């Protein structure tokens, strides 16, 4: 373990968890990003504790509070006195991707499981994830078996998004996979080492590589409350994903620009030729207006595409931290394991 080269992630010494087909001795971290999920947490935390208790000797559940305004802090003040429960309160709402990153950084398990707190991600699936990990997978991600429960427009949007995202070829982001996944310590270390601030996690999971295996599942219904991702938020997330993982829109803007420049040179030659042959022709007002509006629109679209990338560069250059922690409570259970 000499000095690390930039860009090379060396495994931590404790990363070498034994994968011998059992996982009783493995330290498992569960990361739950939460925004106003107190009612769901009340149901989920006991369920999760029972599940983890039967599966492994040492575990921790990290609730990352992404600026909740409900009774999550009071609830977690009680839960964080129970060994194994940790509470990380961010200073405001930083967004799910940042909350997830905060949880991954705080987790010290040999494997880390990230899941939503609304009971859509069933703790029942954790056994199968651990079994896959134990059999050699570095990352096990839950994939929706179908999206029939979603409105047709959302399904269409998500299909279009994955088509656009995968059109650059290098990193293959699996469609219909969310943030319900198990990651080996090495995967988590690689994710934490990524310096970027626009954290489109679905893309980053794919970018780090490793041996990833899909696990089909049917998400449950949200137990309480409603989704935080309405069309506007989904659109913003999609733009973040596209700008973080593709450059083809920029190339497309120059290609379309090039194509129309060539066409307009040809048309210019034609117009001049016509003038020379037929004399001064003034007709063509409709053509001029149509062309003017079309090219003005095209210009603005290209400028907008460039602007989207520049905005992300601006965010990266400022170098602000991804999130700010207001308070930390509770302790993990590695000590419990040591005492056994
Ligand atoms: N979440 C968060 N910060 C946010 C939005 C959501 O931590 O700004 C959490 C939320 O509490 C939940 C998870 O992210 O645990 C998934 O959110 P949600 O269920 O609203 O999304 P959906 O299931 O509709 O994709
Ligand atoms: Mg949900």
Picking from 160, 235, 240, the residue whose alpha carbon sits closest to that of residue 198 is 240
Give tens-digit pLDDT for 19-50: 655 677 888 999 999 999 999 999 999 999 99
pLDDT at 12 over 70: no
Closest CA to ligand 1's atom 21? 227
pLDDT at 162: 84
Q: What is the pTM of this model?
A: 0.80
Residue nearest to ligand 1 atom 9, measured at CA: 34
Which ligand 1 atom lies nearest to the CA of residue 35? 11
CA distances, 274 to each of 25, 28, 265, 268, 280 (Å) = 85, 77, 14, 10, 9
Q: Is 34 in the pocket of ligand 1 (CB under 6 A)?
A: yes
Distance 220 CA to ligand 2 centre (A): 9
Average pLDDT over residues 68-86: 91
The closest ligand to the CA of 37 turns out to be 1
Encode pLDDT of 127-161 as tens digits: 899 988 988 899 999 988 877 777 888 888 888 88
Could you tell me if the CB of 332 is within 6 A of ligand 1?
no
Let me know if 53 is exposed, middle or buried by CB neighbors in 10 A (0-12, 13-18, 19+).
exposed
Name the pLDDT band for 168 (thresholds 50, 70, 90).
Answer: low
* Residue whose entry in the numeric block shows the structure tokens 């319900």: 180
Q: What is the DSSP letter of 115?
A: -
- Distances from the Cα of 338 to the Cα of 25, 332, 334, angstroms: 11, 12, 6
pLDDT at residue 330 tops 70? yes
Per DSSP, the residues of 189-226 read: HHHHH---SS--HHHHHHHH-S-EEEEEE-----SSS-
Helix, strand, coil percentages for the chain (3-state, nearest 5):
50, 15, 35
118 close to ligand 1 (CB < 6 Angstrom): yes
Instruction: Compute the distance from residue 179 Cα to the ligand 2 centre, in Å.
Output: 10
Pick the range with the lowest mean pLDDT from 8-12, 102-106, 155-159, 303-307.
8-12
Q: Span 102-131, mean pLDDT?
A: 92
Radius of gyration of the chain (CA): 25
What separation in Å is there between the alpha carbon of 105 and the centre of ligand 2? 22
Whole-number Å distance between alpha carbons of 251 and 197: 23
Q: Closest ligand 1 atom, CA of 93? A: 8
pLDDT in tens, 241-252: 888 888 888 888
Q: Ligand 1 in contact with 37 (CB < 6 A)?
A: yes
């Amino acid at each position: 373990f000499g000095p690390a080269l930039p860009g090379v992630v060396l495994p931590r010494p404790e990363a070498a968890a034994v994968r011998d087909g059992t996982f009783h001795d493995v330290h498992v971290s569960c990361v739950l990003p939460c925004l106003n999920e107190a009612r769901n947490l009340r149901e989920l935390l006991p369920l999760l504790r029972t599940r983890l208790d039967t599966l492994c000797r040492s575990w921790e559940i990290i609730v990352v509070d992404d600026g909740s305004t409900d009774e999550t802090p009071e609830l977690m003040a009680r839960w964080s006195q129970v060994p194994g429960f940790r509470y990380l309160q961010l200073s405001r709402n930083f967004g799910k991707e940042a909350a997830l990153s905060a949880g991954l950084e705080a987790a010290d398990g040999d494997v880390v499981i990230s899941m939503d707190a609304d009971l859509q991600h069933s703790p029942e699936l954790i056994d199968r994830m651990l079994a896959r990990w134990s059999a050699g997978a570095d990352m096990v991600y839950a994939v929706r078996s179908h999206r029939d429960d979603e409105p047709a427009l959302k399904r269409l949007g998500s299909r279009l998004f994955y088509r656009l995202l995968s059109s650059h070829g290098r990193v293959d982001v699996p469609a219909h996979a969310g943030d319900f996944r198990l990651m080996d310590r090495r995967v988590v270390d690689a994710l934490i080492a990524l310096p970027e601030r626009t954290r489109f996690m679905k893309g980053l999971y794919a970018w780090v590589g490793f041996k990833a295996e899909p696990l089909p599942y049917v998400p449950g219904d949200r137990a309480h409350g409603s989704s935080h991702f309405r069309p506007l938020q989904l659109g913003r997330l999609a733009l973040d994903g596209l700008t973080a993982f593709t450059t083809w829109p920029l190339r497309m803007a120059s290609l379309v620009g090039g194509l129309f420049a060539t066409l307009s040179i040809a048309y210019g030659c034609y117009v001049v030729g016509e003038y020379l042959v037929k004399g001064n022709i003034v007709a063509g007002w409709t053509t001029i207006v149509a062309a003017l509006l079309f090219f003005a629109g095209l210009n603005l679209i290209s400028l907008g595409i460039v602007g989207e990338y520049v905005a992300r560069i601006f965010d990266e250059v400022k170098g602000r931290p991804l999130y700010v922690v207001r308070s930390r409570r509770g302790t993990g259970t590695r000590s419990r394991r040591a005492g056994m």
